[in-house]
């Protein structure tokens, strides 16, 4: 669609740089966009280029500002501004959070059970006042209910600082816990807090115990020495055991410590074995273990605490049922998983292994699972359910009567009529014959063959849930069908679905997405060039790969913080995530075949002299996950090489990280910009 071609887009200078691995030399003339002082970015040449791109973005989007405002107002109108979560009992209190009308951040409250005497325990808006960026990390109440531990990040760099508040006096203690990147776990009778500390590479390799009220050095209780492994602390459901988990994307190892004495000698559950993952919880003297050691879709096993490595199958692994999680309670336990790609929640009993109660859900595509259930002795379970046409619904499931009690349905103040929409779940054949599921939502009065938006992620075994979205309606209500491609690389259809989209099979992910797009054209749902697509992070890598492969399919692309410089990043073990990512993508440092494969699909390396669709690319200057220079380098190379005259925009958040701007309305405005760009470039009336 037309844009102001009189404005000259920024052109990054080319500076000679190359690297050689496995006898192959790669020229990288935009390498200089990586500031050598990172994570401090103060190179004026780098900042100058990013600011020039931001200015170009603002100039080209200037005429779309009325549409952005219209969309923002529309999206905001679907949000109940003075919203609150459903109170949940934990000990002597019920806890919940609230937004005030116009508020960007939540306030957190509690009240003694059986009373209405509300108490403000944490004021998010006050903490965020005057800050460009604010994120609340951990939030943890001591067992005796007196102290609140919480952590905040004010840059987007995801290095959090922990604080402790005395809820009796309302005052902060003098304690400061720096570089937190985990939960804050109360132990030792509320005298200690256990947490994970991020190192200079943003990896949590050490677990510490902080003694409340002590300004001295915190005591290290675990150090992970294997490069690529990270560590995290947790607490057993009965709150008797501290769980220290270590692992990477395919291997794990767990140690247990008494919560009453986190400085004790840890108990190793089972030593790490490459490719074996496991999680644990404890009931009495029995260890429960979720593991993939003998079935790809995981089994649930038990072991005596006296012999924690001797695992006996409780629930066998299944080719049909993918067991994803379990939760222990005093009188029963819950398993979660997916059957044919749809969420399943099942209640099971310690004294009767054959008794399984499955909670039924009515729709063809939906997302369902347990919510916050903090107490050990529960007789009802907090649950969430939603579908593309069902707003988020909060239930209590009464275990004894097997009844669902509706507590709250997400309110859409401007109105929402589900009868106006159709939801389909279809399967399309990929080029290798595999059937790929697709969830599709569109208005019943939509023009046949009209525009369609295609979304996917496709990495790390993350399944994109077919849930409800208020912002999606701004596309769908303008005649744009919305499709989620459940491509390989996610674990939508089980663990094998994930394995078929990683390392040596990575290109299946990109091929699936393209094949879904082509199949939807063949089915008459849309036409070539009338598909917009979006993805973020690894989903941004997906966007880069599919437009190299099939640019003619797409009429607009939005790539958020895209992981597009895959080869160079996987060759640099000093970067925050690289060593832990080799199991996902391959290690091109040691493996020549991995080097060749990654180079063959890495979007930055495969930019070609061809036409590309209109594109909007975003970055975060403080992003520790996908560093800002990846999208910056990609856009610079695209500007140099591409043969079309389609618009290409780069927007870098100069004071934020991976998730973009903080605050519910600032983030909403960025979503409105994205939708406005898509509508503009797809020629859809706003």
Catalytic residue numbers, as ranges? 537, 623, 658
Relative orientation angle of helices 44-61 and 629-641, to the nearest 10 degrees: 70
Residue 130, phi-psi category: left (phi > 0), alpha (psi -120 to 50), beta (remainder): left
The alpha carbon of residue 248 and the mean position of all alpha carbons in its chain are separated, in whole angstroms, by: 17
Strand partners, 454: 483, 533
Contact 423, 472 (CB under 8 A): no
Residue 572, CB half-sphere, CA atoms under 13 Å: how many?
Answer: 14
State residue 374 phi and psi, 5-degree precision: -80, -20
Residue 323, phi-psi category: left (phi > 0), alpha (psi -120 to 50), beta (remainder): beta
Q: What angle do CA 217, 223, 226 make, to 5 degrees?
A: 150
Contact 336, 326 (CB under 8 A): yes
Which token pair is 242?
Answer: 């501290």
The alpha carbon of residue 600 and the mean position of all alpha carbons in its chain are separated, in whole angstroms, by: 26
Contact 387, 367 (CB under 8 A): yes
Which token pair is 21?
Answer: 């691995």
Within 238-300, residue ranges assigned H as helices are none
Compute, in degrees rounded to 10, the torsion defined by CA atoms 563, 568, 574, 577: 20
Contact 561, 541 (CB under 8 A): no
Strands 481-485 and 452-455: parallel
Compute, in degrees rounded to 10, the torsion defined by CA atoms 338, 339, 345, 351: -110
What does the alpha-carbon distance between residue 680 and residue 79 come to, in Å, rounded to a whole number?
24
């Amino acid at each position: 669609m037309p844009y102001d071609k009189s404005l000259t887009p920024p052109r990054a200078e080319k500076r000679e740089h190359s690297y050689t691995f496995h006898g192959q030399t790669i020229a990288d003339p935009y390498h200089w966009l990586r500031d050598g002082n990172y994570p401090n970015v103060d190179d004026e040449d780098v900042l100058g280029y990013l600011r020039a791109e931001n200015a170009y973005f603002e100039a080209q989007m200037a005429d779309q500002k009325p549409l952005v405002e219209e969309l923002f107002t529309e999206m905001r109108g679907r949000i109940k501004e003075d919203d609150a979560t459903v109170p949940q009992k934990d000990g002597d209190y019920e806890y919940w959070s609230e937004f005030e009308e116009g508020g960007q951040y939540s306030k957190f409250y509690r009240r003694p059970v059986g009373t209405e005497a509300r108490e403000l325990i944490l004021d998010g808006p006050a903490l965020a006042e005057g800050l460009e960026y604010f994120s609340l990390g951990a939030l943890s109440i001591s067992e005796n209910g007196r102290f609140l531990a919480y952590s905040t990040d004010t840059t987007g760099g995801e290095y959090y600082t922990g604080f402790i508040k005395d809820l009796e006096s309302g005052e902060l203690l003098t304690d400061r816990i720096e570089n937190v990147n985990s939960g804050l776990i109360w132990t030792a009778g509320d005298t200690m807090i256990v947490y994970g500390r991020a190192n200079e590479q943003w990896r949590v390799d050490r677990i510490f115990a902080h003694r409340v009220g002590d300004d001295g050095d915190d005591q290290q209780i675990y150090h992970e020495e294997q490069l690529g492994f990270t560590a995290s602390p947790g607490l057993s459901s009965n709150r008797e055991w501290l769980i220290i988990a270590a692992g990477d994307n395919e291997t794990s190892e767990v140690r247990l410590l008494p919560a009453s004495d986190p400085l004790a000698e840890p108990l190793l559950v089972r030593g790490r074995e490459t490719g074996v993952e496991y999680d644990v919880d404890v009931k009495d003297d029995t260890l429960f273990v979720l593991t993939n050691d003998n079935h790809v879709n995981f089994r649930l096993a038990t072991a005596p605490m006296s012999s924690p490595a001797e695992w006996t199958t409780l629930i066998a692994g299944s080719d049909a049922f993918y067991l994803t999680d379990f939760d222990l309670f005093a009188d029963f336990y819950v398993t979660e998983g997916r059957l044919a790609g749809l969420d399943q929640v099942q209640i099971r009993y310690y004294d009767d292994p054959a008794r399984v109660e499955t909670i039924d859900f009515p729709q063809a595509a939906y997302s369902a699972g347990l919510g916050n259930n903090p107490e050990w002795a529960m007789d009802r379970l907090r649950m969430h359910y939603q579908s593309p046409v069902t707003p988020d619904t909060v239930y209590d499931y009464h275990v004894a009567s097997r009844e669902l009690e509706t507590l709250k349905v997400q309110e859409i103040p401007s109105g929402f009529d589900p009868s106006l929409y159709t939801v389909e779940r279809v399967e399309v054949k990929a080029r290798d014959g595999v059937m790929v599921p697709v969830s599709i939502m569109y208005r019943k009065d939509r023009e046949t063959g009209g525009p369609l938006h295609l979304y996917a992620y496709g990495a790390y075994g993350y399944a994109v849930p077919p849930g409800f979205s208020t912002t999606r309606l701004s596309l769908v209500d303008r005649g744009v069908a919305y499709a989620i491609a459940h491509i390989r690389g996610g674990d939508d259809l089980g663990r094998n679905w994930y394995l078929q989209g990683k390392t040596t099979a990575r290109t299946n992910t990109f091929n699936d997405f393209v094949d879904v797009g082509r199949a939807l054209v063949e089915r008459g749902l849309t036409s070539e060039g009338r598909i917009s697509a979006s993805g973020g992070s690894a989903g941004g890598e997906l966007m880069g790969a599919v437009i190299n492969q099939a640019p003619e399919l797409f009429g607009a692309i939005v790539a958020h913080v895209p992981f597009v410089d895959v080869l160079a990043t996987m060759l640099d073990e000093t970067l925050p995530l690289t060593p832990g990512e080799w199991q996902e993508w391959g290690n091109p440092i040691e493996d020549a075949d991995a080097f060749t494969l990654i180079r063959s699909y890495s979007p930055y390396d495969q930019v070609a002299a061809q036409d590309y669709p209109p594109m909007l690319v975003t970055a975060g200057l403080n992003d520790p996950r996908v560093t800002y220079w990846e999208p910056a380098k990609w856009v610079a190379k695209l500007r140099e090489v591409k043969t079309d005259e389609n618009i290409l925009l780069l927007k870098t958040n100069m004071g934020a990280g991976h998730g973009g701007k903080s605050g519910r309305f600032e983030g909403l405005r960025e979503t409105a910009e994205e939708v406005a760009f898509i509508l503009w470039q797809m020629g859809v009336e706003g």
